[in-house]
Amino acid sequence: MNVVLVEPEIPQNTGNIVRTCAATGAKLHLVKPLGFSTEDKYLKRAGLDYWHLVKIYYYDSIAELMNRYPDGNFYFSTTKAGKWYTEFKYEKDSFLFFGKETAGLPVDLLKSNWDRCVRIPMVSEARSLNLSNAVAIILYEALRQQKFEGLK
C-alpha cells in the first residue's frame, strides 16, 4: 500500500505515520511543501528507530505524483465524502491520500475524484480525527482486504 501525505504540517503526526508505514510495509509519499524540516527532532522522535524500514518518496506537487503513477488506484480521505472508507474495495498497492491537518485535501482534487473520496464516520460535532489516526484506520482496512499479505 501507499500512503500519500499532501503538505503535512505537524512533524509528530508524520513521525507517527512513518512508524505505521514501517509496521505495515506501506510506502510513504510526501507532497511538498512540508510544514517542517525532515531533520525535525519531533519528527525523528515520533518515528523512533523505524526510519530505515520505510521507503519515502518526495514530490513537488500532487500532479507530479499522479503523473508518475498514471495507472494508480487513488483514494482520497475527506470529512466531506459521502461514502465510508469501508464501502470501497482497495486494490493491492492503492494510494491513500490524506491532506494537511488544517485544511485537508484541495477542494479541486476532491471534486475531480469524488467517486474515490472516502470518510471515516464520526459524530457530527467532531471536525476530524488526528491525521495519524485517520491514516492508521484506513490503511489497516485496505490491508485487511488484502488479507494482511506479508504481515504476521
Query: Which ranges in the chain belong to alpha helices (H)?
Result: 11-24, 41-47, 62-68, 107-112, 131-145
Q: Is 99 annotated as a binding residue?
A: yes
Q: Is 128 annotated as a binding residue?
A: yes
Whole-number Å distance between alpha carbons of 60 and 82: 29
Q: Show contacts of 55-58: CB within 8 Å, 24+ apart.
A: 55/27, 55/28, 56/18, 56/27, 56/28, 56/29, 56/30, 57/27, 57/28, 57/29, 57/30, 58/29, 58/30, 58/32
Q: Is 120 annotated as a binding residue?
A: yes
DSSP SS3 for 18: helix
**Binding-site annotation: residue ranges:** 99, 120, 128
**Binding-site annotation: residue ranges for S-adenosyl-L-methionine:** 99, 120, 128
